[in-house]
Chain A
Amino acid sequence: MVKKLLLIATLIASSQVLAEETPPTQPVVDPDGFTEPLKTLKFNPGLDQREFERATLTALNIYDPLEPMNRRIYHFNYRFDQWVFLPVVNGYRYITPQFVRSGVSNFFSNLGDVPNLLNSLLQLKGQRSMEITARLLLNTTIGVAGLWDPATMMGLPHQSEDFGQTLGFYGVPEGPYLMLPILGPSNLRDTSGLVVDYSAENWINFLNVAEVSSNHPEVWVLRAVDKRYTTKFRYGQMNSPFEYEKVRYVYTEARKLQVAE
């Protein structure tokens, strides 16, 4: 008897608690508990707006005069990635422990901070240049020639600036879209930027790496493998028959964003 009474009491009590917790501003529209999210949206009255079509069709307008060649290279890259690059990266992942891989990544990323600094200076970005300088100093000394990345832990994240971005900063247009063999999507402006960054790196010869790697091509191989290891992109991951177009758009917009930022 007592048990029954208590049971009823608990049920009543719990329902009261529930009633108190339900916010009064949000009446349940549906007896099932469905809150009808679409009811909160403002739709255009005729449901005939073509904004998705307009936006996407506009987005497809990217200057790509070399499309047939670019597409062939895209397929070459896709195959090379599947049959050579990714298997090598998997082997690399298999034979090296995690701390070695992150050491290698940090080392090359530290090397990359030299062109980052140069380009940041060329774009007259004072604060960023100071941050990258601090990164270089910290990582090269405390971080043992860049094998370790204490700067990021101290709140100085990696910031990338390349010569393509510098050119973009001064208003140089992108030029035709290019699919580079193995390196992937680019455009004329960024490709020339790549060449400039590469020669600058050779000329500065930071930590003597450029000189050593001219005698030891394995350094280049390691660098390429590390680059692929740290690049998240996989061919086919957009899972669409129109991946070429989508990659082209995303690359172009991402570069615009990097230039503007």
Chain B
Amino acid sequence: MLRTLRLAALLGGLLLSAAASARDVDAATYGYPLTNPFEATIATTPPELRPELPHDDDINQADYSLNVRPERAFTLPDNFWAVKKLGYRLARQDHPAPLIFLIAGTGARYDASLNDYLKKLYYKAGYHVVQLSSPTSFDFISAASRFATPGISTEDAEDLYRVMQGVRAQHPRLPVTDYYLTGYSLGALDAAFVSHLDETRRSFNFKRVLLLNPPVNLYTSINNLDKLVQTQVKGITSTTTFYELVLNKLTRYFQQKGYIDLNDALLYDFQQSRQHLSNEQMAMLIGTSFRFSSADIAFTSDLINRRGLIIPPKYPITESTSLEPFFRRALQCDFDCYLTEQVIPMWRARTDGGSLLQLVDQVSLYALKDYLKNSPKIAVMHNADDVILGPGDIGFLRNTFGERLTLYPHGGHCGNINYRVNSDAMLEFFRG
């Protein structure tokens, strides 16, 4: 008797605490092995702790393309022939099933590894899956973005929405029962805005929407990312650049190992070796990867809009033209530079002005606060040590989402999405 009572009390207590606030996962029960946020971001979960997924050969999938903006075929230079149409990937079940849209993160194409992982996860659970490129991705900017200046979340959501409608129209016979939506990193922010748009457009009536590691304040996030390349890295000298430093470490690692073996465990294994990178070096590496994204975005946006900041307007480009001089110029433009030189001027011209603060409010999750607060179908999963967040961001998520926020203690930026505990929670959320 007492025992059942105790159990009831325990369950009651758990329920009470769950209803009151966010689901905070404590580190001990979570069991994620990478407590270093930078390591988690780069190496992600060790292979043996990932969920079991189907092999590519066992998935009925194909790449398709949409002609969203036919005029780009004429305005884009010759060597952009491959991105005049927008590619996407569809994995279909052989029976009526719900369809889930996946939106990739900053600068990532539909087939980015994390997006592909999510496809496998949801495909195995019985969903049709559509993988979409991020609105900041090179192919999306050139083929599907109306203003070709990503960063204004509402406009990006409109572009994405058209693409989703196009995808649906291209497969009229696909038996879809319900629509779901998810995205990671910037894709999660996009997903929130797309879901908001869907409340009025009603093409899909998304049943559930899951945001994985979204930026809360977009300006904080881009500043954090820009700052990562400013770390003081030991070992950089006048003769050794950062890349040489990392490559030398990698070479020594392989020499000690005796052979070259590129696999999923490589990065994890590398960090366990004597050649492992320090926090500053890892931060620099993450920052570097985002700098390449910002260079691509700045260049593509400038080229399509003919702003003349990086490439002179009407500069003749054929398939043999070297783009290297423009690459050299574009790589000096970080996110902040792209924002001030391209996004803000366009946004001011189109919307009759406004300050940076107003822009930040409009493009961040703040803009959707009331909607997110009152939409039980939207949930968010985030990490307490995510590098794209700033102080107060998690507080905003707690206030807004309440018990629909799951906060993991570790994982860095998206490093734990392929951890089995997370993938189970993700599937559980969509199961309802």
Contact = CB atoms under 8 A, between A and B. Distances in A.
B186 to A, nearest CB: 14
B109 A239 contact: yes
Interface in B326-359: 327-328, 330-332
A93 interface: yes
Interface string B6-26: 101110110001000000101
The prevalent SS among residues of A at the interface is helix
Interface string B103-143: 00001110110000000000000000000010001110000
Nearest to B82: A236
Nearest to B322: A67
A6 B11 CA distance: 11
Contacts of B139: 236, 239
Interface stretch (B66-74, B170-178, B285-293, B424-432): B285-293
Interface in A128-163: 128, 157, 159
Contact of A49 (B138, B230, B255): B230
Given A60-B328, A78-B82, A239-B139, A71 B232 contact: no
Contacts of B233: 51
Interface in A39-53: 40-44, 47-49, 51-53
Contacts of B82: 78, 82, 235-236
Contacts of B403: none
Contact of B327 (A18, A60, A71, A260): A60
Contacts of A170: none
A245 interface: yes
B370 interface: no
Interface string A2-42: 11001101110010001001000000001111111110111
Given A33-B407, A239-B137, A58 B320 contact: no
Contacts of A240: 138, 292, 296
- Of listed A42, A52, A236, A257, residue having the most chain B CB within 10 A: A52
Contacts of A242: 295-296, 299, 323-324, 327, 330
Interface in A100-121: none
B320 A71 contact: yes
Contacts of A93: 57
Contact of A239 (B37, B108, B295): B108
Nearest to B327: A242
Could you say which interface size class chain A belongs to? Answer: 35 or more
Nearest to A249: B243
A208 to B, nearest CB: 30
B138 A3 contact: no
Contact of A41 (B247, B254, B279): B279
A42 B229 CA distance: 11
Interface in B342-396: 384-387, 389, 391-395
Nearest to A68: B320
Nearest to B134: A239
A234 B13 CA distance: 53
Interface string A42-79: 11100111011111111110000001110110010010
B320 A51 contact: no
A231 interface: no
A2 B224 contact: no
Interface of B: 5-6, 8-10, 12-13, 17, 24, 26-28, 37-38, 57, 79-83, 107-109, 111-112, 133, 137-139, 224, 227, 229-233, 236, 241-244, 247, 250-251, 254-255, 258-261, 279-280, 283-284, 287-288, 291-292, 295-296, 299-300, 303, 319-324, 327-328, 330-332, 384-387, 389, 391-395, 398, 407, 412
Q: What are the nearest 9 A-B pairs in CB distance? A: A55-B241, A68-B320, A32-B394, A6-B9, A239-B109, A32-B395, A37-B37, A52-B229, A55-B242
